[in-house]
Structure 1
């Protein structure tokens, strides 16, 4: 597999071996996870037990100091097994990685949370709201945090809360009028006033159970206010967001592998040999592999640039471009796989239809395509103006 070209360290090869040992279980449960729209709790627990969820903690906090390139490789691998599992755990991995890279929390908060993660805690940000749309577009959250004594009271409702049945902590984005700023609170799921509104009725990534998080006068201590931010989060460069396209790259790989296997085995009585000998089928296979190569070299190249302290400062719009390229290529790759397999690809017993539905969700993960293209164009225009 071309992916093996990007496993360049013993650490990566060791973890690929550990993750591959889960493939039979993850692939075996993926169909039921999708059909029942059921969160793959057993899969996530296996990853927690394996120590995967602490990889993005820095070594000084007891983690592995996992790099962006490491994460892309691992998430791509998980994506090729089960998209819902990969995207779900990817949010945790990315959130933890970003927290310890940015170091916006106090040392006490960082130390406390590292211990929680090592004990198996799983976290995700709860930011999106029905009225504001994607948080990357700068809308002010309707969820409010109001001072009460030495702590805070939070009320509001968040949608798209991936892993809602399993999360230990919610990193809740709120508007704090007192500070005229957006703040994030680390809220444990057992805090009184927390509930989940089950309304995840979708056709793709069904197993993520990205239900609504409801906060009804949730009281938290002052030390649970961990971040205060001016301006939209979408303006911040975050290399850990590459966990998103890496998952979709893995799903595309699974579709490609299924289609190529089908082509080498399917032998209708109208031809000699298998359909893999037909020029039109070979064209589809070649096009799929070319798209996979383009996506893979782009995302790994950008990941490694971000990991390098010398070039990290130069990486900005490339992150959005990687997500744009990988997700859109994944969609067209799976479309070609379905064309190759034919009408069978629409059968609910065929995984291709699940892959096709799951990758469509990538269009709605941040950053959105229009924002990526707009930022690239504006950067080009500003650069040209600066040279006049």
Structure 2
């Protein structure tokens, strides 16, 4: 799909970087899916390409990537393995948020960014919990932070901790008792009392390594509390479009494989490959127009986000609508790919059943379809 587009020299260079990560991800996708873990080789490639530091400004060693550029790269990586794109996308998005909103004390933020630039360190916000479900639903964390003189003591369990064993830092939400609010603590991976429990055993997106993060009486300095919940209305987060970009990439990968299958599969009942059969061409054409619509909506929204920063507070509804539209279109495209391949698409020796399992996860990433539709209805 993207090969039909016209790119600037900079965009083409960034896509080439993503293409190299995609190739490594694709080579290890079966292993990641089988083991429900993120392969070391893929993380090594991500850091070799200096991908984690791309959101940083140039003065700190990054490329100050735009949302549009970010989504181009994420979609490309997802063609190789959606799990890789989604999991590293959380780090990239958090770094873009920190770069643009500057919610921490400058000295602490600059120190982290220098580590990301110099050592390609990776972090993720870890917020979900067994009792609260998705943090977007507004549940109060059961993880607690108790103040003791010049320290905080954290105890709790987090779920869906993507890249759990490969993160250098955990950015963990907690109820902070002494100030009676939700706060975020930056915790180095090797901190005493922090451990990962291998709980990730899902149908799809198995390679995200989204295991449980356990904290038992973790002692942290006071300055580890880097953020507290703001009383201001939440700012829309454009970087969350990495979610639909990921599932769109999965759909493109499935479309590409389905077309190759159709061009090369010729049962002995036909004189031509099945790509010449009218109902197969109908399915391919339907996949194409769904992808064209999804690409247009996603990237037009990203372009507006980049070009009109002063209007970003107006676009919460559109961001949610993009996620809803693109992830559902991706489901439909992968389903059509499975219909083209028929029973052979169910074989573990074929890539289609993995696309089918992975793309389903898009319905369960925030924002959820019902929340988006309800928001749109209220605003109308």
What is the deviation of 1:177? Answer: 2.6
User: Structure 1 218/6 Cα, relative in aligned 2: closer, same or farther at 3 Å?
Assistant: farther
Runs of 4+, deviation exceeding 6 Å:
none
Matched residues in 2 for 1:167 and 1:115: separation? 16
Matched with 2:203 is 203
Cα-to-partner distance string for 1:96-148 (whole Å, 9 max, x where unaligned): 11111111111101110101111121000110001011100111000011111
Cα-to-partner distance string for 1:194-247 (whole Å, 9 max, x where unaligned): 0111111111111111111001111111211111114799x5410111111111
Long gaps (5+) in structure 1 = 381-388
Task: Establish whether residue 359 from structure 1 lines up as the match of residue 376 from structure 2.
Answer: no
What is the deviation of 1:7? Answer: 5.5
Cα-to-partner distance string for 1:339-383 (whole Å, 9 max, x where unaligned): 001000000111110011111111111111111111111111xxx
TM-score under structure 2 normalisation?
A: 0.96
Matched with 1:183 is 183
Matched residues in 2 for 1:365 and 1:142: separation? 21
The DSSP-based 3-state class of the residue aligned with 2:26 is helix
> Is the CA contact (8 Å cut-off) linking 1:6 and 1:73 kept in structure 2?
no
Matched with 1:25 is 24
Matched with 2:110 is 111
RMSD, aligned α-carbons: 1.5
Cα-to-partner distance string for 1:47-85 (whole Å, 9 max, x where unaligned): 111111100112233211011100100000000011111
Matched residues in 1 for 2:3 and 2:231: separation? 40
User: Structure 1 199/3 Cα, relative in aligned 2: closer, same or farther at 3 Å?
Assistant: same
TM-score under structure 1 normalisation?
A: 0.94
Query: Superposed, which structure 2 residues align to 1:238-317 within 5 Å?
Result: 238-308=237-307, 309-317=309-317
User: Structure 1 198/23 Cα, relative in aligned 2: closer, same or farther at 3 Å?
Assistant: closer
Long gaps (5+) in structure 2 = none
Task: Establish whether residue 157 from structure 1 lines up as the match of residue 157 from structure 2.
Answer: yes
The DSSP-based 3-state class of the residue aligned with 1:202 is coil
> Is the CA contact (8 Å cut-off) linking 1:245 and 1:323 kept in structure 2?
yes
